[in-house]
Amino acid sequence: MKRLYNIIFKLLFLVFVLVLFICVNDVYAEDYSINEYTMNVIIKDNGDLFVEEQMVYEFSNEMNGLVREFLYNYKYENQKDDINPTSSRYQASDIEGLRVYISDTGFTDMKEAVLVSNAENGDNGVYTKDSINNKGESKYIIKVYSPIKTKYKYVEYAYNIKNVAVLYNDKAEMYYNFIGGNWTCEIDKFNINIDFENDIDINDVDIYPHTYVKNYEKVNQDYLLSYNVYNINPGEAFDARIVFPKEALSSCEKVYYENYPNDEIQQMEDSMSRDRDKYFISVNIYYILAITLIIITILFIIISKIKVSSRKLKEKNIDYYRDIPNKLELGEYANIINRNLGYLDNNLIVATILDLVNKKVLNMETQKNDQKKIFNNIEYKYYLSVGEKIEDKIKNLNEYEMIIINILFFAKDSKTIKDLEKIKEKKVELNEAIKKYAKTKKTGFYNYRYKKNQEMTKKTYEKMKTNIIKVFITLCIIVFAAILINFIFISPANIDIKLPQFILTLIFSIIIFGVGIAIICNTLIVLREEYQEEYKNIIGLKKYLEDYSMIKQRYPIEISLWDRYLVYASLFGIADKVSKEIKEELVNQGYSEEDIYTMHPCICMAVYTDSINNSIVSTVGGSSSSGGYSGGGSGGGRPEVVGGGGAF
């Protein structure tokens, strides 16, 4: 099962990185947007369209100019002459009479750009026009050379699109894509105004707008058709079928000598309307599935906490413990109270050094440091040497203690001491010794601590036997499957339109699942029964040392335990506070500050334990839990007559 979890985590991580990469590229693909885009369209009596476009670009970076793509004729596989949006019936024959105007200040100060055969980046006030005919697709690529030095750029295009409208015996129609789906930037607001060259009653005109843009509105006008469309994302289109009296066309080239197929058109439009509704239903399904996943995650986190409540020891329910715990090593106690840090905690280094001094393995002498260059705000140097009968004492040391001695005296991270005679002759200064080891850039000590903590965690902690994780993963897989089904089968939109919602939902769901499974797995890891008593002892001692108000109520015999208390206070990250209380107690008994720091070097060192730890972190690396531990291990198929645009 553990192997399965590892595989699932790795797969989810890879999917998350891939999806995040796609989203980042999508979000940062363009350094510009269109604030407002106005299109004025006149349906001429010969079936042509006269179009004026006005666009306000907003840029975040300097660029060379603008690109506009006009796609007027295209072919799909098995394209027919019918009433479908992709029909050959609705293809234009050409674009003529193009004029381009540009400005940096507004539409009242436009200058006409000049058509040239070639241009280079940096040119200004000119544009090129390339005609592309490939696999039945006909379009023009317009590159307007006008260096973007200011935040805004204003551009206007005016042109005729040939042979768009269609004439029947009783009616006329056109199908046109006003905003093509291949725009690569966001359009904040699009205004479309449609008028007729010949006088007709606007009330006799039927318009069927098609878009997957949620926010659009019809503007009531007496003489023209007008819509406002908001927040168009890249890939979203706005197209429409317009049915109007045949009197609007007097010299149309596309003539079908048959009556207009009203019933078929109505069925098709109803179907496309349902597709739009299905698309927004699919978006709402994403919201529902995301909320469902959040609820499932919260519910299972609560269940997991309830499940382990009988095995978790709460600090507030643990009594003071005044004795010195001695059944386990310091590192093991560090792991018991914080399995994630444990042996990696640099507080353990200071605590171990103090413990070695208490055991007489090491001797410590303090010396006034007038220059104050060794530790920030520390007034003493700490000189270490080995104690008497080191040969006998060293046999009782554990691996961690042996490594600490090797680091201090030989700048090595060996688990054995090979040259005892040499070590007897040495006296080292604590901070300088640590810095000397750091300069070797060896990673053995860190690797040892990391491995040791993993081994100890396996020994002291266990995962509760429960099916919670299996059930949670199963339910999450069902939600992920529903997201995929919604993307593939329910949403009718083309992939460019529906992909952003799918990606955002997937990323959000992966994050929620990842956070949930991490919290649940962490919650279900509990301390083994055989270590519960030692946990209560070490936490009870921590509470005892933290409660400074109890200092004056302690028995005199405890004074002899202060040095040993400081070992654990250093382990808890509260040595500086506890040592100050000890110092104050000794001063009250008649000791001078100089005597205290000379006779009790451990107190001196403990007073500045935070600064010493900072020095260790900056040299040896790792982490420090200064301040104490946490307490126990806790719409498809639509045409694209008009192309897109961009910048370069």
pLDDT for position 631:
30
Q: What are phi and psi of 328, to 5 degrees?
A: -120, 165
Contact between 65 and 148 under an 8 Å Cβ cutoff? The reply is yes
- Count of residues in the chain: 648
What's 171's DSSP letter? Answer: E
In whole angstroms, give the CA distance from residue 488 to residue 473. 22
What's 327's DSSP letter? Answer: S
What's 61's DSSP letter? Answer: S
CB environment 568-583: b (16+ within 10 A), e (fewer):
bbbbbbbbbbbbebbb
Q: What are phi and psi of 167, to 5 degrees?
A: -110, 130
What's 255's DSSP letter? Answer: B
For residue 299, give the 3-state DSSP assignment.
Answer: helix
pLDDT for position 619:
54
pTM: 0.72
Q: How far is CA 252 from CA 51, 74, 199, 207, 239, in A?
A: 18, 21, 16, 20, 22
Contact between 252 and 167 under an 8 Å Cβ cutoff? The reply is yes
Contact between 71 and 639 under an 8 Å Cβ cutoff? The reply is no
- Dihedral sign of CA atoms 524, 530, 531, 533 in order: positive
CATH number of this structure's domain 31-260, picked from the four choices 1.20.120, 2.60.40, 1.10.287, 1.20.58? 2.60.40
pLDDT for position 553:
57
Could you tell me whether strands 94-103 and 114-115 are parallel, antiparallel, or unpaired per DSSP bridges? Answer: unpaired
pLDDT in tens, 481-495: 999 999 999 999 888
pLDDT for position 280:
92
Contact between 429 and 374 under an 8 Å Cβ cutoff? The reply is yes
Contact between 84 and 268 under an 8 Å Cβ cutoff? The reply is yes
Low-confidence ranges of the chain (pLDDT < 50): 1-2, 24-25, 27-29, 372-378, 555-557, 626-642
Q: What is the SS3 string spanning 75-114?
A: CCCCCCCCCCCCCHHHCCCEEEEEEEEEECCCHHHCEECE
Instruction: Name the amino acid, one letter, at 578.
Output: V
Tokens of 264: 């078929």
In whole angstroms, give the CA distance from residue 381 to residue 429. 7
Instruction: Name the amino acid, one letter, at 314.
Output: K
By CB atoms closer than 10 A (0-12, 13-18, 19+), residue 164 is buried
Contact between 248 and 200 under an 8 Å Cβ cutoff? The reply is yes
**Domains in the chain: boundaries:** 1-29, 31-260, 315-459+531-619
In whole angstroms, give the CA distance from residue 502 to residue 510. 12
Q: What is the SS3 string spanning 177-240?
A: EEECCCCCCCEEEEEEEEEECCCCCHHHCEEEEEECCCCEEECCCCCCEEEEEEEECCCCCEEE
Instruction: Name the amino acid, one letter, at 597.
Output: Y
pLDDT in tens, 262-298: 999 999 999 999 999 999 999 999 999 999 999 999 9
H/E element holding 58?
A: strand 49-59
pLDDT for position 20:
52
For residue 495, give the 3-state DSSP assignment.
Answer: helix
In whole angstroms, give the CA distance from residue 318 to residue 337. 13
